[in-house]
Structure 1
């Protein structure tokens, strides 16, 4: 079924963006996916299909005769038209009838979640435009999709929270599993076995989930676990995400492996952890509707570097939802690969879900926390309670 809440967001975005018509078009989407379709419904495109939403609040589905009853049954389309012979002829008739001046299509140079229109389907749409003698503008639907995908419903947030809570149980169990002398690969296998045993999915590919990194000089990044020993006096950073009921989480937790004569972590390691933790808390307070990702990133980055720690070569955070990296605007700096208006200077909306994940290197290894939050009027809310202290092993 289609989400009426997501359809309403689409209509609001069309009016705000002054776009007359949004066309979501595709065929055999199980093979050639259209990312926004899965966010709006559990439907699949079979034959050539166009879902049309207009600024005036009306909607039309153009589909094959065999798909007709399904779209009627969804109950969200004012008109369902089964094309008798030609998809492009029937779509052209709708365009002539509606007389749009601006049509948005699902393509984007920067946002993969808004880039669902295939080249072949684009050529079919061009054919329909030509048959309709359409003289108006064709623009990217990115700004519509940013809102439809990014603004999470209460049901979506509930599913993200469930994934976070289940991931936290595995993080907690790891406290009793991790031991000095183990290899990062041992911890990686523990997390993988727990996910498989509990029947969860993966927020990113299984081969590099979780990331397990321990000690100074340990390789890091999107790579799973290197062949690297965990020693006393090391921190252990675990980057982990699972999917439960179709929605995922993306969390990092920090452990410290005590030396034999220690009952707590050394002062400099605790201070580094607290700096990352507090940078996240400050960024969460700043993460309100209407701010930009650049503004939020700057809060955490200036706080952490102001404490004397080096800058990190990544964004502060990204959107999350059905997958770990859910597309759309980032919480990012003015570094070359992020310095685009649509990524870091776009005002954010309430109920968007983001990660907050700064990191700094230490003599005991990388300290990186990652929390999942949702944008609210008075600052972001943590989807599950944030980690406040190092977990001691």
Structure 2
């Protein structure tokens, strides 16, 4: 199926072919190539309204489910201004910018009939969102907190401490010491780690978030389609750094945030690389480009890696060997995503997918991660890299299991020998955003 758009070719998934000679765009398979999501970015006030609607639903539906799943009666989030717990900003409404002095949030499960009560032990009130418990300001903050906890007498008190998960380890040593001193040894003995509650809260997407995530990924795809085109790249003039800073400026112009510096790199036929070794950063005809970009919009992150081939003069398509390299990468994606099963650990998914891909004659390396409020987010990680190359302790983290309504950067590399490049190995760095629901794992934006 053909679509006219810009001056480059778009082949299959996450692969563009740049040419200065044609205005055609070729698409194989399902694509949203003609959708301009970047034209529909909301103004700040509307963004805040949407995010607060999402938050209200999440607090009403996700918190009760997770607290009962983890069998926690009272969940405490205690942090200080500019040293926020990783979960804190996701629990408070817009336009909150930071914690205020020492901020304390509490979720108290009063049972199925009365439900979860949302409470604040902070100095400043939070309106309808959290009922204030520190009413007598003559009392010290932790004294007031202790009085309230003694009154409700919870059996299990969840605190955010974890030796394994950074997202479940937001309670500082000094705040924990203050809490223990205020509560005394008997109530402090009821502390349990709320690490899985933290992860569950951060990783679980609401129906509204899952719907709009398609639009957010579409914005990222629009940006990629624009900079991997002759609108931005002029072969033999434009450098990879030029493109990187074009991307950063585009984020600013659109009013988007990012969570890492984008990158653009070049793979080049070795004989051509020797010719251009004095200026290796200049984009040339015949280059295979790779980008890694991520935006943050409406509180949700994307993370994508796409490839683009720059046609030589007289070419209107990529060499067959490079297209085959992409085809093989797509086969890895199919194998990997088909191994997503609820209740499986990241270790089980990774090891099974790697084994099946190798049996299919592919040469992949998986290093996938959850997506959500953060880029390298909370949830089920999947990483097949050697211990010296992977994040320390990742195999322990990968014992966390897969849950429904969670999102991931489907990330891996796939290596293929390309005949047109003298049998040189070409690495496809593949990354596209996916979602796991009861219907299985699929790409968010088609």
Q: Normalized against structure 1, the TM-score is what? A: 0.82
Q: In the superposition, relative to structure 1, how do residues 265 and 33 fare at CA in structure 2: closer, same or farther (>3 Å)?
A: same
The question of 1:50 aligning with 2:104 is answered yes
CA contact (8 A) 2:434 2:443 kept: yes
1:233-278 Cα distance to aligned partner (Å, 9 max, x none): 3311111111223322111111112334544323332222111112
Q: Are 1:88 and 2:139 counterparts?
A: no
Counterpart of 2:433 in 1: which secondary structure? strand
CA contact (8 A) 2:406 2:436 kept: yes
Residue 327 of structure 1 corresponds to which residue in structure 2?
Answer: 378
The reply to whether residue 369 of structure 1 matches residue 430 of structure 2 is: yes
Contact 1:178 1:187 in 2 (8 A): yes
Deviations 1:2-33 (A, max 9, x none): 534235322222222222321111232xx222
State the alpha-carbon separation in 1 of the partners of residues 444 and 192 from structure 2.
35
Give the structure 1 partner of residue 300 of structure 2: 247
1:265 and 2:324 correspond: no
Equivalence for 1:33: 84
Partner residue, 2:32: none
Structure-2 change in CA distance of 1:258 and 1:364 (3 Å): farther
Q: 1:381 maps to which residue?
A: 442
Tell me how far apart the structure 2 counterparts of residues 184 and 300 of structure 1 sit (CA, whole Å).
Answer: 33
Alpha-carbon RMSD across the aligned residues, in angstroms, is 2.9
What are the residue-to-residue correspondences of 1:1-393 with 2, within 5 Å? 3-28=56-81, 31-42=82-93, 43=96, 44-55=98-109, 56=111, 57-59=115-117, 61-64=119-122, 67-68=124-125, 70-71=126-127, 73-74=128-129, 77=131, 80-84=133-137, 85-130=139-184, 133-134=186-187, 136-173=189-226, 174-176=228-230, 177-181=232-236, 182-204=238-260, 208-215=261-268, 228-260=281-313, 262-312=315-365, 315=367, 317-333=368-384, 335-336=386-387, 337=390, 343-361=397-415, 363=424, 365-385=426-446
1:143, distance to aligned residue in structure 2 (A): 0.3
Aligned-residue offset at 1:355: 0.8
What stretches of structure 1 of length at least 5 have no aligned partner? Answer: 218-225, 386-393
Distance 2:68 2:225 in 1: 47
SS of structure 2 residue aligned to 1:318? strand
Distance 1:216 1:86 in 2: 69
CA distance in 2, matches of 1:263, 1:300: 35
What's the counterpart of residue 25 of structure 2?
A: none
Give, in angstroms, the shift of residue 50 of structure 1.
2.6
Change beyond 3 A, Cα 1:62–1:189: closer
TM-score by length of 2: 0.73
Residues 62 and 91 in structure 1, CA contact (< 8 A), matched pair in contact too: no
Following the alignment from structure 1 to structure 2, what is the Cα–Cα distance between the partners of residues 60 and 341?
Answer: 35
Task: Indicate the SS of the match to 1:380.
Answer: strand
Secondary structure of 2:161's aligned partner: coil
Label 1:198 to 1:212 Cα distance change in 2 as closer, same or farther (>3 A): farther
Contact 1:106 1:115 in 2 (8 A): yes
Instruction: Give the superposition deviation at 1:135.
Output: 5.3
Return 299-308 or 183-192, whichever deviates more.
Answer: 299-308
**Distance 1:134-1:323 versus aligned 2 partners, 3 A rule:** closer
1:311 and 1:360 in contact (8 A); partners too: yes
Between the two proteins, the alignment pairs up a number of residues equal to 364
- Cα distance, 1:194–1:261 mapped onto 2, change above 3 Å: same
Bigger Rg, which one? 2
